[in-house]
Amino acid sequence: MLILGIESSCDDTSVALLDCSEQGCFVIKESTASQIEIHQKYGGVVPEIAGRMHAEKIVPLIEQVLTGQSKPDIIAVTTGPGLITGLIVGTEAARTLAWTKNIPTVSVNHISGHIHAVEIGEYKIQYPALALIVSGGHTELIYITEPGDYKILGATLDDAAGECFDKVAKLLGLPYPGGPQISKLAETGNTKTISFPRPMLDSDNLNFSFSGLKTSALYWLRDNKLTAEKIIPYELPTGIYGQSNSEPTTNDFCASFEQAIVDVLVKKTIKAAEEYKLKTIILGGGVAANKKLREELSGAIKQFIPYSLFLVPSLKYCMDNAAMIAVAGYKQAIKKDFTDWQNLTADPNWELGR
């Protein structure tokens, strides 16, 4: 079955054509236009600009991916959650293509895309499964009994993990998106130098909260006067550029901060996993590209939930992409979960499981 995936919920316009069957979902062709460079100037995604950029890119990308290929059997498009300015561009493109080419459409939730990103290629989720989806907009623990049956066990009460990375990076004067920058700087820092809070680490539920950690990072930077001017370029070793080895460096700050986020994410995931008999644990979303999180969650699963399979997408498919939307769409198509193109509507607040 040929599936055309379309994704435009944030700052990536992405189109992919996949061949999906019982053997797995394989990418035939894909193309993504990132808007990061444009939004960097503003320190974050500007919805109005994002919408315009998606509108500019969507048709050329669809053309590029479909040229020379057979007509897709199905169109899978992200209709929510995300920025309405972007979602309507992808949704309208899918509606137009569906109507003019007479192709059935599937309405895909962006988070279900992040979950099924691990199935790009030959890997398969075995159920029941638990997914930790961590991105710029989401931090969720999801229990899945079968594709389409999602139950949110816990979510952030305020900032998402990626948002916390991005906001603290901004305090340091690092460019958007800050998560990769902080994790790069953290590589040569000491995780124990600064004792940041681990919000809700021992709460008796599976929710998260990161705004207190962000505030604590803000106060620490203010009190210790570690500002953008003092940042050590990460190509250079620590301890130079006027920072003595005895003072915490930017690298130490980043390592300690990153460790606080990773500790909470890992502990809560293991807590959830211990409550359910799981066959698979999935890590997905942009923050799943974080090396420390991948390593520490993998280590904890081996130690505490050794009977379960741990699946993480390749780095490329942690970020927003249309291939993951095509895979999630394929799962829905098998269950005949189609939406007539007339009823395909962007829903920026679509909660998974609803």
Is 110 flagged in the annotation as binding? yes
Q: Tell me the closest approach of the beta carbon of residue 134 to ligand KG4, in angstroms.
A: 8
Q: Give whichever of 109 and 135 is closer to Zn ion, judged by the CB atom.
A: 135
Q: Give whichever of 138 and 331 is closer to Zn ion, judged by the CB atom.
A: 138
Binding region for Zn ion (CB under 5 A) out of 17-25, 40-48, 127-135, 162-170: 127-135
Q: Give whichever of 9 and 183 is closer to Zn ion, judged by the CB atom.
A: 9
- Is 320 an interacting residue with respect to Zn ion (CB under 5 A)? yes
Q: Give whichever of 189 and 286 is closer to ligand KG4, judged by the CB atom.
A: 286
Is 179 flagged in the annotation as binding? yes
Q: Give whichever of 104 and 353 is closer to ligand KG4, judged by the CB atom.
A: 353
Among 105, 135, 259, 321, binds Zn ion (CB under 5 A): 135
Binding region for Zn ion (CB under 5 A) out of 36-44, 85-93, 313-321, 335-343: 313-321
Q: Tell me the closest approach of the beta carbon of residue 352 to ligand KG4, in angstroms.
A: 13
Is 162 flagged in the annotation as binding? no
Residue ranges in contact with ligand KG4 by CB under 6 A: 10, 135-137, 162, 165-166, 177-180, 183, 285-287, 289-290, 319-320
Three-state SS annotation for the chain: CEEEEEECCCCEEEEEEEEEECCEEEEEEEEEEECHHHHHCCCCCCHHHHHHHHHHHHHHHHHHHHCCCCCCCEEEEEEECCCHHHHHHHHHHHHHHHHHHCCCEEEEEHHHHHHHHHHEECCCCCCCEEEEEECCCCEEEEEEEECCEEEEEEEECCCCHHHHHHHHHHHCCCCCCHHHHHHHHHCCCCCCCCCCCCCCCCCCCCCECCHHHHHHHHHHHHHHCCCHHHCCCCCCCCCCCCCCCCCCCHHHHHHHHHHHHHHHHHHHHHHHHHHCCCCEEEEECHHHHCHHHHHHHHHHHHHHCCCCEEECCCHHHHCCCHHHHHHHHHHHHHCCCCCCHHHCCCCCCCCCCC
Is 58 flagged in the annotation as binding? no
189 binds, among ligand KG4, Zn ion, none (CB under 5 to 8 A by kind): none
- Is 166 an interacting residue with respect to Zn ion (CB under 5 A)? no
Q: Enumerate binding residues for Zn ion (CB under 5 A).
A: 135, 320
Numbered residues of the known binding site for Fe cation: 110, 114, 320
Binding positions for substrate are 133-137, 166, 179, 290
